[in-house]
Amino acid sequence: MKALNQVVDTLSRVPGVVVAMVVGATDGLIVETSAVIGGAGGADPRKPTAALAAYLYSKVTRASDAARLGTPAFMRLEAERGHIFVVGARDVVLVTIVTTDANLGRVRLEMMNAARADS
Amino acid sequence: MSDPTVAENWVAAPLTRLKEDARLISGVLLYPSGRAVGQFGFSNAADVMSICALTSAINASARELGRQLDGNPFYEMHHAGAERQVFMARASAGAQEFLFVGVFDRESSFGVVEIYFAEFQKALERLHPEKQPKGAGPSGDFEGELNRSLDALFGPIGKR
């Protein structure tokens, strides 16, 4: 299994990724995180994003189960000024905050690869 | 889920919001002396009385334990049970200190509870009346204070 700090390091180097985190799937607490790129000033978004993204992913998993679709492979939340990506990997979820101009396909691919390596 | 019952009206809105946002099953806000300020999820005054007494005692023990082990008091605790989890923390509003204890299950998470508790804390700071409520500090009459706060939450004994 790839070390968690390596996972975070790899993801945070993808252009457009503002922050990459490994988060506990059940408690929503940050296990490993990158620094926030361009994050000088303003409140640190990591702790609330981690907790709420993990919570949201657990609800999406239930919705997916209810629809008989199985485990969700990837979750993307599109907002006005960027995206939140979430991928499940056993006991943790990988969470990234991504800018609107990022190469979303590349971020998705890197996250899926990281999740597979982590499983 | 029942609305909070409160001994001081200004805590009703923050408690309701915390309950709903953090998906808490039950919770009690109290003074460190053990006097209840507000609660939700309980219909029995005796349960709230026990929780207040235990929370007050646990808080005092945890603070001392923190001082002994770490040099600083412990202010927040989390116990993850098989089905339900307990979150206990202090909150302050001005010079006044409060304790909060809440119970949640898999419908929430520790991370989510922490996030919304931080907002709850800010709301207490914002809404706390300038004037301290009468008898907010410990008077030494622990049982009397506890009973008066339970009367405020559930009505006088005999009418509960």
CB A15 within 8 A of CB A107: no
Instruction: Delimit the domains of chain B by residue range.
Output: 5-133+142-154
pLDDT tens digits, residue range B86-125? Answer: 999 999 998 899 999 999 999 999 999 999 999 999 999 9
Question: From CA A18, how far away is CA B126, in angstroms rounded?
Answer: 32
pLDDT score of A92 = 95
Lowest mean pLDDT among A20-34, A40-54, A105-119, B137-151: B137-151
Number of domains in chain A: 1
Q: Which residues of A touch B109 (CB under 8 A)?
A: 26-28, 51, 54-55, 58
What is the dotted CATH code of the domain comprising B5-133+142-154? 3.30.450.30
Choose among A75, A80, A34: nearest CA to A52.
A75
What percent of chain B has pLDDT above 90?
A: 72
Q: Which of B109, B110, B115 sits opposite A48 (nearest CB)?
A: B115
- Chain B residues whose CB is inside 8 A of the A47 CB are 111, 114-115
Chain A residue nearest residue B85, CA to CA: A27
A24 touches B: beta carbon within 8 Å: yes
Band (pLDDT 50/70/90 cuts) for residue A1 is very low
Quick check: helix, strand or coil at residue B55? helix
Helix (H, G, I), strand (E, B) or coil at B109: coil
B125-135: b (≥16 Cβ within 10 Å) or e? eeebeeeeeee
Averaged confidence pLDDT in chain A = 92
pLDDT in tens, B4-24: 999 999 999 999 999 999 999
pLDDT (average), residues A25-43: 87
Give the pLDDT score at B158.
62
Q: Is there a contact between B111 and A58 if contact means CB atoms under 8 Å apart?
A: no
Q: Report the C-alpha gap between A86 and A92 in whole angstroms.
A: 10
How high is the pLDDT of residue B154? 77
**pLDDT, average across residues A85-93:** 94
Query: Which of these, B43, B38, B44, B47, lies nearest to B19 by C-alpha position?
Result: B38
The Cα-based distances of B145 to A49, B5, B120 in angstroms read 41, 17, 25
Closest CA to A113 of A92, A96, A89: A89
d(CA B75, CA A33): 25
Please say whether the beta carbons of B73 and A12 come within 8 A: no
- Closest-CA distance of chain B to residue A49, Å: 10
How far is residue B23's CA from residue B3's CA, in Å, rounded to a whole number?
A: 13
What ipTM was predicted for this assembly?
0.83
pLDDT of residue A38: 77
- Mean pLDDT value across residues B60-78: 92
Q: Is the pLDDT of residue B145 over 50?
A: yes
Instruction: Output the pLDDT for position B149.
Output: 73
State the CATH number of the domain containing residue A98: 3.30.450.30
All residues of chain B having their beta carbon less than 8 Å from the beta carbon of residue A27 are: 80, 109-111
Pull the structure tokens for residue A66. 């209810």
Nearest CA in chain B to A62: B107
β B36-40/B5-6 pair status:
antiparallel
Q: State yes or no: pLDDT of B137 exceeds 70.
A: no
- The overall average pLDDT reported for chain B is 88
Looking at residue B133, what is its pLDDT? 53
Query: B89-100 burial, b for 16+ CB within 10 Å, e for fewer?
Result: bbbebeebbbbb
> A61 — contact with chain B (CB < 8 Å)?
no
With CB atoms and an 8 Å threshold, state whether A26 touches B109: yes
Average pLDDT over residues B59-69: 93
- Return d(Cα B75, Cα B90) in angstroms, integer: 6
A40 φ/ψ sector (left φ>0, alpha ψ -120 to 50, else beta): beta
